[in-house]
Amino acid sequence: MSEWIFTHGDGDGLCAGSIALAAKPHSTVFFTHPVGLLEDLEQVKPGDSVIICDISLSQSHISEILERFREISKTGNLIYIDHHPLPASVKKQSIPGQVLHKTGSSASELAYILFHGELNPFLSRNALYGAIADYLDDTPVVHQLLKRWDKRTIYLETGILVQGIEGLKRDHEFKRHIVQNLAKNFPPSLDRRLLELAIENTHREEVVIRELKDYIQIYGKIAYVLNFPFSLGKTAIYARALAEKVVGVAGEERKGFIDMSLRTGEENVDLNNILRDIAPRLGGSGGGHPAAAGARIPKQNFQQFIRKLNEAL
């Protein structure tokens, strides 16, 4: 019987994974993402225990994923911890296994709520790092946990983690090492390599902030940037902010598609809802959180996508 932790490779995913690993120290940590989850779960054998953190349930594979969850929880144990909006057709109660799902809280906070009874109380800071990493630090639980720490140190450590893993994408070995250190209650700043990467990436970001202006294109309420060689999420944030628009979009061309990140600063805009509606109609897919989302659209439909997005705003 094996124990597995399937988690996301971003800051929240690493922290949620570290909390799960601290509670289940014999687990194998495996990084996945919504589209890869179904295939990655093939490694799970009957009787294995599985914890899944911070992986949104993808609309396109939803029935197979739920079927796989059912199989796993029949012979073993399945815990699903997530905070992405569920596909419209899925009710929380209909997901097999033990489910902790809540939008508005990070996966790290939810993992901490589930496991904190078995953990060193110091690991509450891992929940804070993850929450801040996902911009979900304005919750009652986070406010409560922050009182046990000096928030200035917590935000510095989160910055080191988030900036350090920027651009690491598929360096799963290093990310696994980070998760293990976090689970052992080592803060991010203790890891020299992570610290140096964080400084390097932050300097790079400073250069981008100064240069991005010349690459921004405007359509209505949208500021967009294509094929700018930097983090899509950050590029979307700065494009929106520098152009003072409602939504920032940063995209890169890959295999005939534009993969993009979208960000808004407006609380009454729900990018997840808008993208789930318009992306499939243009032959693509999209979704995420209300203020931070992603989409993949066939290249030839990109301009039409920008028009439809602007209409929806």
Interacting residues with Mn ion (CB under 5 A):
12, 54, 107, 134
Choose between 134 and 191: whose C-beta lies nearer to Mn ion.
134
Q: Residue 57 and residue 74: Cα distance in Å, rounded?
A: 20
Note whether 79 and 114 are within 8 A (CB).
Answer: yes
3-state secondary structure of 235: helix
Beta strand spans in 179-246 (E): 217-219, 222-226
Cβ-closest position to Mn ion: 12
Contacts of residue 206, defined as CB under 8 A and 6 or more positions apart, other chains included, come to none
Based on CB atoms, which residue is closest to Mn ion, 65 or 136?
A: 136
Name which of 111 and 269 has its Cβ closer to Mn ion: 111
| Residue 129 beta carbon to Mn ion: minimum distance, rounded to whole angstroms | 12
Q: Give CA torsion, residues 80, 291, 135, 143, to 10 deg.
A: -90
Which CB sits closer to Mn ion, 56 or 264?
A: 56
Residue with tokens 């799960």: 20
**Are 157 and 182 within 8 A, CB to CB?**
no
> Could you tell me the smallest distance in angstroms from the CB atom of residue 40 to Mn ion?
17
Q: How far is the CB of 104 from Mn ion (least distance, A)?
A: 11
Task: Please identify, using beta-carbon distances, which residue of 18 and 76 lies nearer to Mn ion.
Answer: 18
How far, in Å, CA of 103 to CA of 109, rounded? 11
**Least distance to Mn ion from the beta carbon of 56, Å?**
9
**Is the CA virtual torsion 214, 133, 84, 96 positive or negative?**
positive
**Edge-to-edge strands of the sheet including 28-31?**
28-31, 3-7, 49-53, 77-82, 98-101
Q: How far is the CB of 1 from Mn ion (least distance, A)?
A: 28
Looking at beta carbons only, is 32 or 302 nearer to Mn ion? 32
CB of 294 to Mn ion, least distance (A): 12
